[in-house]
Chains A and B, each alone.
Chain A
Amino acid sequence: MNLEGLRAIVNKDEIVPTRQASDFLAGSQEIDDLYKHHVRTYIPLQSGSDEASGVTAFASRFIRQVKEAKAPRGYITADFGYGKTSAGLFVWQKAQDARLVAVPPFKLNRLEDLLDATAGWVAYILGKTVPNLVEKAVEIYQLFQNRELDSIAKRYGVTLDQAERMYSDRALQLNITPQDIVRFFEQMTSLVIDAGFEGLVVIPDELQQYLDPEIKSGKIDPLVPLFDIITELMNQQGKLTFGFLMIITSKELGVINDQRGDLIDRLRGNTLDLRAIYDRGFPARLWGLFAETFDYSEISDQLVDELTLDSLGQIASRPDLSNGPRTVINAFRRIARRALDSGGSIRPYSPIDLVDDFLTNQIAFDARKLLQEATNKALATSLIRGNSQLEQAIRLLAAFPVDGATRDVQGHYGLLDACTELRASGSPEIVIEIGDRHRPALMLRALDVAQENTDELSLILREFVRNYEVQAANQMQRAVNSFMALLSLVFKPEQWSTANLELRNFARNGEAVFVGTSPEMAKRFPERTVHVRVMGDDESISDTRLEGECSLVFVLARNLDLSRQERLKILGAMQTDTSAFTAAFSLNVMLPCFDNLNRATQDQLRRVVDVEDVSVIMVLALHAYLTEAAERDNVSKPLKEMIKRSMSVRLLEGALEVLLNPAVGSAYGVNGGLIVEKAVSTLITARYGDQYETLITYKQWRDNLRSYISVLRQLSSFAQKQGFALVEGTKEEIAKKFSTTAATFDAFQSRFPDLLKIEGGSFPSRREARKSGVLLTRHSLEEVILNWLEGASSITTREHKTVRAVKVDEVYGGAANMGYRPDEIKFILEIMEARDLVEVVGGWLQERSRPSVSLDVLAEQVMRFKQDADLLHAAVHQDETELFVQRGNKYANQLKDFRKHLKESELVALDEQVQSDLRLLQTFVNRGINQLGERAEKLQLADLPNDWSVTLGTMIRASAFTSSLNQVRLRHGQMLQTWNNEASTFRERLSELITDLANLELASLQRFTGRVNLLTETHVKLNEQRRVLDRAVQHTTAWQLTVNQLHDLLEAIQRQGEAAKDLLAQSQEIERTIARAFETQAIEAFAAADRYQQRIAQLEQQVAGLASQAERKFTREQEQYRSLFIQKAGVNQEKLWHNIIHSPSNPDGVYSNMYQAITGQAADLLDAIAGDIESSQTALFGLRTMSGLSDGHVGGAEAQLVLLEKQINQSNDDYTSISAALEISVRNLNQFADWTEAVSHLQKLISIINAGIRELREPIQTSNISLNEEQLLRNLGELKGANNLLRLRQKMADISDDEFWLLLRNMSERQLIEVTLKAQ
């Protein structure tokens, strides 16, 4: 057996003394040793199997975040004793393992402690690893730690004077700031990274040391700098491989959260709440881990009982009995020590051993020593003292202060009998029983968590328990009266009212009368009365009177004559007697009830009574007791209200659940209050069955019936009042009569289906044409009352008529026996009065006096009505007339019934309906006759238009197909003739009919209808033929048009000549198509003229297109010819022929005209050229004779003259050639262009010749003109064309004749003048 591992537990301290920050400056080595010693035996736990909730997972997560430079900020929290520091140390160790420098937990009393602890620890770690950096660590520390002004001045590079001034101006504070602290962390982190580590973690512990005094003093808010540090660190996220992990109690955490919720928000994600880990199963889990870690698994079970670990879990979960995990560790040390001291003979550590260790102060962490006090107190009682078994039992119970020691536990330690005795004798003073009935447990009363409560409710409950005795008569009285109160849970106030309630007393049973209904029967039987009697098993029925429509008897039985075991087997029963309308409930009030109570009540009761003893009768009695207590003056108002509003109701609910259990309700398969509802429903149904049809269909039923009565009163028709005749109208109109809306009328009607029926089941939609309305039918109770009246023996005289009567009281009594409420009966009687059926006179209900109707007379009228209805329907066959037939049959059948069993009101109603229908029928007959006349008038036939015969008689112009076409036309012409003949006959017959109609009667209506029908048929036929003829006329007209169109088209095509060759073929194809159509289907072809018109129109367009094209071509050509004349031949535009206008009807003619004009124009041009050539020749001749030139005075003149002569000859040749080419060139534009080119060329040659002539002549002409020559030229000018030589001579009189003639000769030779001779 290896017990060595246990030494580690023995040496394990429960408390890790967190060191002061200042200790780190000089004593880090010692701290390191101390913490390492502790952490070696630390077992990280998790909550059950949830690894993520555990300390290890938390540490890993936090360290990872440090390494990822997320500057994580977090906290570990729990109450005192939960090992927060140990968990912090575990994180510290893991951080160091991960190559981080981790400052272990230190007390945080002030912010400067963060500097002291960090600097001390970093210096210590660097001293062991990179000693040369220690000095740097110290330097950083001093930089931030020294708050002296000279140090600050040095740090920020200002003079001491300046620093002092800043301080006095409050621009500088000497306390360390959060920003400084974070900068310090930054520099220290940087240093440790330089030293080869991966980051820095700081774990301040016991934050309450820092927070408490400050918060309490209220001077400064310590949370502000803390918040600022956290916020500053947040800003370092992603930059700084630094972690800040605070250790804080849950209470302080609550305070922080309350005051600075945002601070907690900033820590979210890195929080560890150890309370979630240290649950009741913690000791067992830890023990298992210890065994594994310290290598004693194989003997683990021998060292301690499993039940002890559970006991330890219960004790550790009670902060008033222990210090949580610390107490557990303490106990484990004790177990380990005991094993080590056992010398090898180990006995498992039991719960009793544990309690003994508490009692002997071997367990140090015992909170307020309550466990010792409670146990010792119990041990000291006279009942226990000296009885070793009972003493052991007390110790055992003390070990289970939460769930108590169950019977299994008691038996396991051989203390079952002792515990039973304790329960019997020491309960509830020393022990109390807790837990549910199936797993009861015993615990020391003084250790009950609620024991300390000495509040007034506990006192009252104790008072009750002290005086409670199940057999006592007053308990049953209380139970019965509480059961009366419990009935309000069954007969709920929202459904039932309590008409009477009598509590039990010495003289009578507890009784109540409830009026109302349950959901179960609310629709059929509202407002029922139920009589309830509640009895204890110690009383008998004091009064057998039944006040309701059914009766329930509840007997509360204790079955005291039976053993407890037998008693508990009785679950209760219910029996119904439907003939007596009663149900008897036998309920066992001794059944246990604790489990059925609400948790708060259980909690209260457990403090004062053995839960096993909590039976229904106790609960009921307690209810009564509390109700009485709540009336006491010395009870506080809250408690009074709590008892009244909560506890008493919960007690009754619990009792109800147990008493009205499924066994009692087995007949209905329900439990609870539903059993009673079902029983009442069964009894009421048995009593009234189907004879009761309620009017109480909903809350406002009276208002609705008042509307109904009002409508009845407004009706004048007796038949309508009886629901025999329809009250017509749309839904809106009917709803308005009933003072409701169309939207809610359906609901209104559905509540009173007996009284109100919609014709056809529902109102027609607006699109449906049928009439609708409602029938105000009689309720079944009305019929019953009418029957009573009919059978009544009492007869009275009213308005000289004998009427039957019954007493109103008897009516009420009779209807009540059927289940009707007085109000319902009252309304039914009012309805009957409104229907004019009855009247109430002096306590009597009597028939209403009505005019007498003779059955025989009515029968005769019905017969007549039926006959006329048949005749009318045979003649007109309409829905309405069919309705008359049906009504006639109905009335005839009713009359048959009346002959067997006459009911006067029905007879009166029938008479009214027959009279009304007779009038209505006559209206329909008159309408039928009128309609026949109107139909005949409408049969007048108009003549055919005169032009139809002309159109159909006119031959259609000849074409390829007109032969067939004309045949069709001729056939229609014959038809027109036949129509005229038939129309003539028709008119004669119609005229006869109209004459006969003047004397029409119903009897001959059918025959006349036949005649009108026949004429109508002919009228229809003739009109049909008229339409055929109409179409034939239209078609003939269309064909005339089409044929003409075709002719015109052909002419137009022909005019276009060759260009329209294709069009001609197409038009011929159309003709052929039409011809073929007439050959195959002449009738269809006849109707299809328009089809061809369209095609012809297309061809017409094409022809028109051709014409337009020819015009454009002509115009263009003419313009080109004109242009050639202008541009090539230099003809002035004004001199050209007038534009020739194109004529589509004579295209060749216009071309001929144009060529003629061109030829003329060209001839004029040639004439002009010939003239020019001749002039040139004359000029040449003149030059040869010109003085000064011919005499050789001008050098080279002769050569020039020769050239000119040659050129003139050439021009003569050209002219000849051009003249000859004219005729063949005119009709071809290109050739004509060449021709004009040649003309142009010739004109240029002539110009050259003329220039040559001028060149030779002008020098001679313009040189040496004498005065006489000048004068002669001047005189010639003055003579203005009258160049008579004699006149010229007269003007030149100053010279001699010779001089004159010489002058003329010279000037002529020089060609200054031209001499023309003319014979006189």
Chain B
Amino acid sequence: MATLNFHVRHEVTPERVWGVLDAIATAVDYLHITQSDRQISRLRQLGLVSGKGTPQLTEDGRQLHRIGQRRLDLVWELLHFLHYSRWRPNDPTANTMFFTYLDYCNLLYESKTTDLNAERDQFAAEMTQRISNVSYFTDMLSELAKGAVSLSKSSLIGVEHWLAKLSPQVVANDQFEIRQYCPPELLLMALGYVTEMTNAQVGIEQPLTDERREILCRVCLIDDGVLNQMLEWLYPEYPDLVLPGTSTGRYGQFVRLLKLPSLKDIVQ
């Protein structure tokens, strides 16, 4: 019987993952990178490196490498996005490690500001509890031994590594704080994610409901108060992908995604 893995390895870090991805892209040795096999494993899980055998970059992997050649800062944002969006409720028992990532981000987002050092233990316990009670996993977890889900601080640190690389920062000196800005590219990808998660249609105006706004803010780890401004800055940057919808009338603000964005669309 398959088991569910919720542990996010703390030895897999953004720099190491990027180092390995860069090495694969440029066909150089990566064995000196600490636990390179685990970094490759994460790249595979993120869909950036192809299945089995000799590691090769997927189309997304190549695109991310391309972006990194110009904008390494964006790579960290996009890697965060890939982690956040990898787990999907339509296939809940797959990629469960990323559920931990998503849920911990949500937990931190809800807290707005947190002293991670002081709270991490409690968060680990709370996360364990949350995951154990999530309906997506109850069937499988009930068949596993008691205590099958046990998150430690290191699992959460495994998530924090990626958050610590975001710019503007959300994690600094063991303090988490949601930010007041995010790159348009992350918001663009988040809009694609929201469109998929809320079953909205591409090409049709989607109202920016409270639910959608919240998802966008959670993915981007931004304050809801700045979302409108972020969208305003996004529209002129990617006019071929996203347009502002009407904001008049009774239904509030709308947005119109012309196609689901992919890494290929970023920083062309």
Binding site for B on A (CB under 8 A): 79, 212, 215-216, 250-251, 253-255, 257-258, 261, 264, 273, 455, 492, 494, 598-600, 602-604, 636-642, 644-646, 698-700, 743-744, 747
Given the complex, which residues of B lie within 8 Å of A602, measured CB to CB? 236
Known A254-B245, A637-B180, A744-B31; contact A600-B205, beta-carbon cutoff 8 A:
no
B180 neighbours in A (Cβ, 8 Å): 636-638, 640-641
The docked-state distance in angstroms from the alpha carbon of A255 to that of B180 is 29
Contact B73 A254 (CB under 8 A): no
Most buried by A among B233, B245, B254: B233
* Chain B hits for A699, CB < 8 A: 32
Please, which residues of chain A bring their CB within 8 A of the CB of B238?
599
Are B181 and A254 in contact (CB-based, < 8 A)? no
Is A257 a contact of B206 with CB atoms below 8 Å? yes
Could you list 23 examples of A-B contacts with CB < 8 Å?
A: A250-B205, A251-B205, A251-B245, A254-B204, A254-B205, A257-B200, A258-B209, A455-B232, A492-B72, A494-B72, A598-B237, A599-B238, A637-B180, A640-B181, A642-B181, A642-B233, A645-B181, A646-B183, A646-B233, A700-B32, A743-B31, A747-B29, A747-B31
B168/A641 in contact, CB under 8 A: yes
> What's the minimum C-beta distance from A1159 to chain B, rounded to whole angstroms?
95
Contact B249 A251 (CB under 8 A): yes
| Cα distance A743–B31 in the bound complex, in angstroms | 10
| Interface assignment of B246: CB less than 8 Å from any CB of chain A | yes
At the interface, yes or no: B250 with Cβ under 8 Å from chain A?
yes
Closest chain-A Cβ to B89's Cβ sits at a distance in Å of 15
A743 / chain B contacts, CB cutoff of 8 Å: 31
Q: Known pairs A257-B200, A455-B229. 11 more at Cβ < 8 A?
A: A216-B250, A261-B200, A600-B184, A600-B233, A637-B181, A639-B229, A641-B180, A644-B168, A645-B167, A645-B183, A743-B31
Q: Would A251 and B237 be within 8 Å (CB), given that A494-B72, A641-B181 are in contact?
A: no
Partner of B254, one of A251, A261, A273, A603: A251
Q: Within 8 Å of chain A (Cβ to Cβ): is B54?
A: no
Q: Which of B8-40 contact A (CB under 8 A)?
A: 29, 31-32
B251 touches A251 (CB 8 A): yes
1/0 contact string of B198-225 vs chain A (CB within 8 Å): 1111011111010000000000000000
Chain A residue at minimum C-beta to C-beta distance from B246: A251
Decide if A258 touches B206 in the complex (CB within 8 Å): yes
**From B168, B205, B232, B246, contact of A645 by CB (8 A):** B168
- Which of chain B's residues have a CB closer than 8 A to the CB of A598? 237
- Nearest A residue to B211 via CB reads A258
Q: How far is the CB of B104 from chain A (nearest CB, A)?
A: 23
B179 within 8 A of A: yes
What is the size category of the interface that chain B forms with chain A?
35 or more
B contacts, CB < 8 Å to A: 29, 31-32, 72-73, 167-168, 179-181, 183-184, 198-201, 203-207, 209, 226, 229-230, 232-234, 236-239, 245-246, 249-251, 254
Q: Are B168 and A255 neighbours in the complex by a CB distance under 8 Å? A: no
Is the CB–CB distance between A212 and B233 below 8 Å? no
Known: A600-B184, A600-B236. A255 touches B226 (CB 8 A): no
Name the A residues within 8 Å of B209 (CB-CB). Answer: 258
Closest residue of chain B to A252 (Cβ to Cβ) is: B251
Q: In the complex, A600 Cα to B229 Cα: how many Å?
A: 13
Q: Across the interface, which residues of A come within 8 angstroms of B32, CB to CB?
A: 698-700, 747
- Is the pair A638, B230 in contact by a Cβ cutoff of 8 Å? yes
Given contacts A598-B237, A638-B226, A641-B181, contact A254 B206 (CB under 8 A): yes
Q: Is the CB of B236 within 8 A of A603?
A: yes
Instruction: Identify whether the interface residues of A are mostly helix, strand, loop, or mixed.
Output: helix
Out of A638, A700, A744, which one reaches B229, CB within 8 Å?
A638
- Bound CA span A264–B73, Å: 40
Enumerate chain B residues within 8 angstroms of A700, measured Cβ to Cβ: 32
B188 to chain A minimum Cβ distance, whole angstroms, is 12
Task: Say yes or no: A254 contacts B29, CB within 8 Å.
Answer: no
Question: What residues on A are CB-neighbors of B250 within 8 Å?
Answer: 212, 215-216
State the Cβ distance, A1056 to closest chain B Cβ, in Å: 78
Q: What CA separation (Å) do A644 and B200 show in the bound complex?
A: 33
User: Hey, which chain B residues are within 8 Å of A698, CB to CB?
Assistant: 32
Q: Which residues of B sit under 8 angstroms from A264, Cβ to Cβ? A: 201, 204
Bound together, the chains give a CA A602 to CA B246 distance in angstroms of: 23
Complex Cα–Cα for A984 and B113 (A): 107
For the complex, give the distance between the alpha carbons of A216 and B252 in Å.
Answer: 12
A638 to B250 CA separation, bound complex (whole angstroms): 28
In the complex, A454→B136 CA distance in Å? 47
Chain B positions within 8 Å of A604 at CB level: 236
Among all A-B residue pairs, the 10 with the closest Cβ atoms: A641-B181, A254-B205, A603-B236, A637-B180, A600-B237, A638-B226, A600-B236, A638-B180, A261-B199, A638-B181
- In the bound complex, what is the Cα–Cα distance between A760 and B37 (angstroms)? 31
**Cα(A1241)–Cα(B189), bound, Å:** 124
Chain B residues with CB below 8 A from A644, complex form: 168
B3 CB → nearest A CB, Å? 29
Give the distance in Å from the alpha carbon of A744 to the alpha carbon of B29 in the complex: 11
On whether the beta carbons of B199 and A255 are closer than 8 Å, the reply is: no
Do the beta carbons of B237 and A599 come within 8 Å of each other?
yes
In the complex, which residue of chain A has the Cβ closest to the Cβ of B251? A255
State in angstroms the CA–CA spacing of A668 and B183 once bound together.
34
User: Known interface pairs A599-B236, A698-B32, A747-B29. Does A258 touch B207 (Cβ–Cβ under 8 Å)?
Assistant: yes
For B233, the chain A residues whose CB sits under 8 A away are 600, 642, 646
Q: Once the chains are docked, how many angstroms separate the CA of A492 from the CA of B72?
A: 10
CB-defined contacts of A492 to chain B, threshold 8 Å: 72
Q: A449 CB to closest chain B CB, in angstroms?
A: 10
CA distance A215 to B239 in the complex (A): 31
Chain B's closest residue to A262 (CB) is B199
A492 to B71, CA, bound (A): 11
CB distance from B245 to the nearest CB of A (A): 7
In whole angstroms, what is the CA distance A1014 to B53 when docked? 61
Are A257's CB and B204's CB within 8 A? yes
**Cα of A55 to Cα of B204 in the assembled complex, Å:** 19
Using CB atoms, name the residue of chain B closest to A603: B236
Chain B residues with CB below 8 A from A455, complex form: 229, 232
Contact B229 A646 (CB under 8 A): no
Q: Are A645 and B73 in contact (CB under 8 A)?
A: yes
In the bound complex, how far is the Cα of B250 from the Cα of A498, in angstroms? Answer: 55
Give Cα A644–Cα B184 distance, bound, in whole angstroms.
13
CA A216 to CA B237, docked complex, whole Å: 34
Q: How far is the CB of A598 from chain B (nearest CB, A)?
A: 7
Alpha-carbon gap, A598 to B234, bound state (A): 12
A743 to B205, CA, bound (A): 57
| A604, B209: Cα distance in complex, Å | 28
Q: B206 contacts A646, CB within 8 Å?
A: no
Question: In this complex, what residue of B is CB-closest to A261?
Answer: B199
Q: Among A79, A494, A638, A699, find the residue whose CB has the most chain B CB atoms closer than 10 A.
A: A638
Q: Report the bound CA distance from A386 to B61 in whole Å.
A: 63
Inside 8 A of A258's CB, which chain B residues have their CB? 198, 200, 206-207, 209
- Give min CB distance, A225 to chain B, whole Å: 20
Minimum C-beta distance from B207 to chain A (A): 5
